[in-house]
Amino acid sequence: MEYNHKDIESRWQNYWRENKTYEVNINTEKPKFYVLDMFPYPSGAGLHVGHPLGYIASDIYSRYKRQQGFNVLHPMGYDAYGLPAEQYAIQTGQHPEVTTTQNIARYRSQLDKIGFCYDWSREIRTCDPSYYKWTQWAFMKMFNSYYDTAKQKAMPIAELIKELEISGTANIHAAQGEELNITADEWNGMDAKAKSDVLMNYRMAYLGNTMVNWCPKLGTVLANDEVSEGVSIRGGYPVEQKVMCQWCLRVSAYAQRLLEGLDKLDWTDSLKETQRNWIGRSEGAEMEFAVADSDIKLTIFTTRADTVFGVTFMVLAPESEYVWQVTTPEHKAEVEEYIAAIKHKTERERMIDKKVSGVFTGAYAENPLSGKKIPVYVSDYVLAGYGTGAIMAVPAHDSRDYAFARHFDLPIIPLIEGADVSEESFDAKEGKMINSCGPTLDLNGMDVKDAIKAAKEYVEKVGIGKVKVNYRLRDAIFSRQRYWGEPFPVYYKDGIPYMLDEKELPLQLPEVDKYLPTETGEPPLGRAKNWVTTDGCALELCTMPGFAGSSAYYLRYMDPHNDEALVSREANEYWQNVDLYVGGTEHATGHLIYSRFWNKFLYDLGAVCKDEPFQKLINQGMIQGRSNFVYRVKDTNTFVSYNLRKDYDVTPIHVDVNIVTNDVLDTDKFRAWRPEFNDAQFILEDGDKYVCGYAVEKMSKSMFNVVNPDDIVDRYGADTLRLYEMFLGPVEQSKPWDTNGIDGVNRFIKRLWNLFYKGDENLVTDGEPTKEALKSIHKLIKKVTQDIENFSYNTSISAFMICVNELTQQKCHNAKILEQFVILLAPFAPHVAEELWHTLGHDTTVCDAQWPKHNEEYLKEDSVKYTVSVNGKPRFNIEVPSGTVPAEVEKTALANEAAAKWIDGKPIRKVIVVPNKIVNIVI
RNA sequence: GCCCGAAUGGUGGAAUGGUAGACACGAAGGACUUAAAAUCCUUUGGCCAUUACCGGCUGUAUGGGUUCGAGUCCCAUUUCGGGUACCA
């Protein structure tokens, strides 16, 4: 029998399907293990060879854990809502559901060919009403909750209402939009609308007028993590800032818990660091600056309370409410003009244009420590959304303030001894304070760090400010003016939003005639007929964003068909949370923050038993494309080979990597590739070769460097694809895909096969294995077990290759040895392992074969060689029996020297014995 | 600008501070074959030496340092990749 991957792979894939080999159920007899891949968005382009990298890695780990006796949950599903399907629908009129379903079918057939051990009976799709019912449900719960900052957890809004009725806001400790001061009487006297508005200040999911990222081209708002460098991540369209009334999630309430939770997780330090930066905790103080000749006080936030004596002016964000309070009548026109100009710019333009700009308001504030009068400016370098939207400017020690001061010719007072501020500001937090003495506070001579502390204490003591912690993390904007997303379970009555009854969920996405906004500028759902409740109230027209459906999906896999709950208590208590999560690093500040937030909220609710969703996380690297080029001689249809191109004036042209082998072009295929190359001429090198150039780029259709896994599976088989993807390098590392080299792992499988068969003859022998063979296989068991635990799959594949070569050389066809080999190989190459397992006479599946343990006895050497070096230079070798203690080794080494105390006429200072390696004599 | 990560042959990549380059690709040579494919064997970091056997020097981005010993640890520099950006 020859190795025939097509026959073997289809046979075993059918067997696994028919026998439901990979379906799992709660089994309290066994320990659980939950391995999860980040589920894909099913794009129209299908999978390329880079997508399965992480799936293969997690599949290997799942199979390994299963063979170790764990009950492994390893599900898969689809993140089915998203912009591309909707954009496509706008262009073609095709319902996004239709294209999404098609794309999912394509993904599924591609995934099935690779032989994953997913339990497909648990598949979920975020666009499925039975799934998004629970997305809507969680949103309702958030609407009906507030965050209690004293208890540090989410609580029912009903309790807050009770408190408002009894004593107003006096005893409320809640995460809030703005600080409200309402008495119980005032509250009780409010009408429904006013009460609703007050509660919005506290709800976990609230309707708020916030500055949003508005993308006119997409016609929707975007979250901060959906925007990068002023353009939308999807599509790359410009984004502008705009105040809009939107649904928001109070993610910021969880900032501290999201930060602290990181310490307990087995994530890489760099990923944790990225999240810490995104959360952006900064400790500082809020301080009040009184405006001269008025009652107005400007509250600012600073981390450098020590620098108050160096404040020479103040700056307000253009959007700040303070602007209109302080601007004097004489300066009003100027300020208005400035703000109008700023508004016209997009975020991107504001970023590119780093020129200093600003305008004086005419107002002066009073420095609370020195008493000096300082001017108040408006400038767009101050952000409305962070801190209080107003700053105290210390030009000597902040580069932005410095630039502003220089531009407007404002005074710069150095506060740190030796700081030269003639050319640039001194931003470092070190040195001794100077020029910092006022009537009631003297910081001179103090170290900066001590001065910060002293200033904060002083400010709090005299009541001109308070110590405050600020976070960069913003609330998530949760409305999208789009069609293809989860509808909100919200209706409006007399201008007040209400939640539907839980019994009315899921609220299904309605049909529309077009996927565009209405003529009046309403979102697409405005086109839906009868988009009202049973008693005629208008339903919300926005839909939820992409991250809504992916925030709690891992919980749903535990209990995917439950109509009563997102996940039953029983299922949740058994499966707990994800033990191993595998996915790309691009979700570091989006999905992985939202998901943790969502999970913590559900934890506060008592709906789940773990407060972190993903215990261990591995970021697989990106597989880049490796493009090939041909070089066309200008104005001809002649192509010159890579190494000869310097002699000609050439244009590089991307060429399909699938007609290039080892950078050598198949010229006949090239002529057939495109009509314009039919009569192409070639200038060859080395007599007969056309060599192509190459570059590492993103894998994309336009660069003709996309390699489809289906083609690889068809040609070499799924097992070869799996082995090769892992063999390419460490899972976490990004690397270019290069199909050259795949023959190596394919040959390995064939060599393994040749240990079992020679033609039709079965070579497997019974009896006891040789000592040599035992050593080879136990070495392998040890290595592979260690490597899998460390996700170092590339080195385990090397170990497999070495072992097969050793067994081939030993002519070992022993059943006991081969059996162990096959069990070890099963996670990596499940089809061929299954086939060979049955060749060895088993009728169970290899997936359930127990993972072997290595025995150190077999690995022992009879004797050990040491290199004896003098001052690090190797001199001669010695051989001692295995297990000799270092002191004996030392003695043996020295016995070989004529004099044991002197070498080359110098005394021996030290002898270092490195186990199994080296004896170094230092003279 | 700031934060994180990386740099080893022609290529992908191995090396708990202990003989750098495992394993694989590619390349060169050879065997088998009418031929090709497939398979197998040998060589393969660079330089030098060589009839043969045995060799020698050098080498992990650059410059320093710690150490008996550094690809690995420390400091500085360069380059590349990723994240983030007026966050006060």
Residue A901: is its pLDDT beyond 70?
A: no
User: Looking at residues A831-850, what average pLDDT do you find?
Assistant: 94
- Name the nucleotide with the smallest C1'–CA separation from A661: B26
pLDDT digits (tens, 9 = 90+) for A472-509: 998 999 999 999 999 999 999 999 999 999 999 899 99
- Name the nucleotide with the smallest C1'–CA separation from A799: B23
- Name the nucleotide with the smallest C1'–CA separation from A302: B88
Q: Which has the minimum average pLDDT: A108-117, A224-233, A406-415, A526-535?
A: A224-233
Residue A135: is its pLDDT beyond 80?
A: yes
Judge contact between A502 and A486, C-beta under 8 A: no
Quote the pLDDT of residue A260: 92
In this predicted model, which residue has the larger pLDDT, A637 or A907?
A: A637
How many angstroms is C1' of B64 away from CA of A793?
37
Of A28-37, A371-380, A407-416, A642-651, give the range with the top mean pLDDT.
A28-37
Distance (Å, whole) CA A455 – CA A309: 11
What letter would DSSP give residue A397?
A: G
**Which one, of A366, A427, A371, lies nearest residue A402 by Cα?**
A427
- Name the nucleotide with the smallest C1'–CA separation from A474: B87
- For A305, the 3-state DSSP assignment is helix
Pairing of strands A538-539, A614-619: unpaired
Q: Which two tokens stand for residue A247?
A: 């649904």
How many angstroms is C1' of B76 away from CA of A483?
56
Quote the pLDDT of residue A247: 95
- Name the nucleotide with the smallest C1'–CA separation from A350: B86
Distance (Å, whole) CA A263 – CA A265: 6
Residue A899: is its pLDDT beyond 50?
A: no
Q: Which two tokens stand for residue A269?
A: 């330090």
Q: Which two tokens stand for residue A761?
A: 């003859």
How many angstroms is C1' of B36 away from CA of A636?
35
Q: Which has the minimum average pLDDT: A322-331, A490-499, A643-652?
A: A643-652
How many angstroms is C1' of B54 away from CA of A27?
67
- Name the nucleotide with the smallest C1'–CA separation from A664: B26
Judge contact between A719 and A831, C-beta under 8 A: yes
How many angstroms is C1' of B5 away from CA of A16?
41
* DSSP-derived secondary structure for A315-358: EE-TT-THHHHH--GGGHHHHHHHHHHHHHS-HHHHHH------
How many angstroms is C1' of B65 away from CA of A915?
28
Q: Which has the minimum average pLDDT: A103-107, A499-503, A831-835, A864-868?
A: A864-868
Give Cα separations from A190 to A143, A165, A197, A347 (angstroms): 20, 11, 10, 39
Distance (Å, whole) CA A824 – CA A685: 46
Distance (Å, whole) CA A435 – CA A406: 20
Distance (Å, whole) CA A473 – CA A913: 55
User: Looking at residues A48-57, what average pLDDT do you find?
Assistant: 92
pLDDT digits (tens, 9 = 90+) for A500-556: 999 998 999 999 999 988 888 889 999 999 999 988 999 999 999 999 999 999 999
How many angstroms is C1' of B38 away from CA of A715?
16
Instruction: Give bridge partners of residue A432 from the DSSP assignment.
Output: A447
- Name the nucleotide with the smallest C1'–CA separation from A303: B88
In the predicted model, what is the mean pLDDT of chain A?
A: 89
How many angstroms is C1' of B37 away from CA of A590?
52
Quote the pLDDT of residue A896: 61
R_g over Cα of chain A: 34
Distance (Å, whole) CA A418 – CA A606: 57
pLDDT digits (tens, 9 = 90+) for A653-670: 888 888 888 788 888 888
Crossing angle (nearest 10°) for helices A793-809 and A742-756: 40
Quote the pLDDT of residue A731: 92
- Name the nucleotide with the smallest C1'–CA separation from A732: B5
Distance (Å, whole) CA A145 – CA A127: 26
How many angstroms is C1' of B43 away from CA of A649?
39
- Name the nucleotide with the smallest C1'–CA separation from A808: B40
How many angstroms is C1' of B59 away from CA of A905?
32
Quote the pLDDT of residue A567: 97
Judge contact between A198 and A220, C-beta under 8 A: no
How many angstroms is C1' of B69 away from CA of A916?
16
Is the pTM higher than 0.95? The answer reads no
User: Looking at residues A282-293, what average pLDDT do you find?
Assistant: 90
Q: What positions of strand B are covered by protein, i.e. any atom < 7 Å from a CB?
A: 3-5, 11-16, 18-19, 22-27, 38-40, 68-69, 81-88
Residue type for position A100: T
Judge contact between A34 and A616, C-beta under 8 A: no
- Name the nucleotide with the smallest C1'–CA separation from A225: B84
pLDDT digits (tens, 9 = 90+) for A351-387: 666 678 899 999 999 988 888 899 999 998 888 878 8
Q: How confident is the model at residue A348 (pLDDT cuts 50, 70, 90)?
A: low
Quote the pLDDT of residue A828: 97
- Residues shown for chain A: 923
Quote the pLDDT of residue A900: 52
Q: Which two tokens stand for residue A276?
A: 């810490």
**Which one, of A115, A114, A102, A95, lies nearest residue A44 by Cα?**
A102
Of A73-82, A207-216, A296-305, give the range with the top mean pLDDT.
A73-82
User: Looking at residues A329-353, what average pLDDT do you find?
Assistant: 79
Quote the pLDDT of residue A107: 96
Quote the pLDDT of residue A867: 75
Distance (Å, whole) CA A478 – CA A243: 14
Quote the pLDDT of residue A882: 72
Residue A700: is its pLDDT beyond 90?
A: no
How many angstroms is C1' of B39 away from CA of A477?
63
How many angstroms is C1' of B45 away from CA of A729?
21
Torsion sign across C-alpha atoms A147, A151, A155, A158:
negative
Quote the pLDDT of residue A687: 66
What's the distance, CA A628 to chain centroid? 30
* DSSP-derived secondary structure for A423-472: SS----S-SBB-S-B-SS-B-TT-BHHHHHHHHHHHHHHTTSEEEEEEES
Residue A726: is its pLDDT beyond 90?
A: yes
ipTM: 0.94
How many angstroms is C1' of B34 away from CA of A628?
37
Quote the pLDDT of residue A352: 65
- Name the nucleotide with the smallest C1'–CA separation from A870: B68
- Name the nucleotide with the smallest C1'–CA separation from A919: B18
How many angstroms is C1' of B87 away from CA of A72?
43
Torsion sign across C-alpha atoms A757, A761, A763, A767:
positive
Quote the pLDDT of residue A916: 66
How many angstroms is C1' of B19 away from CA of A830?
38
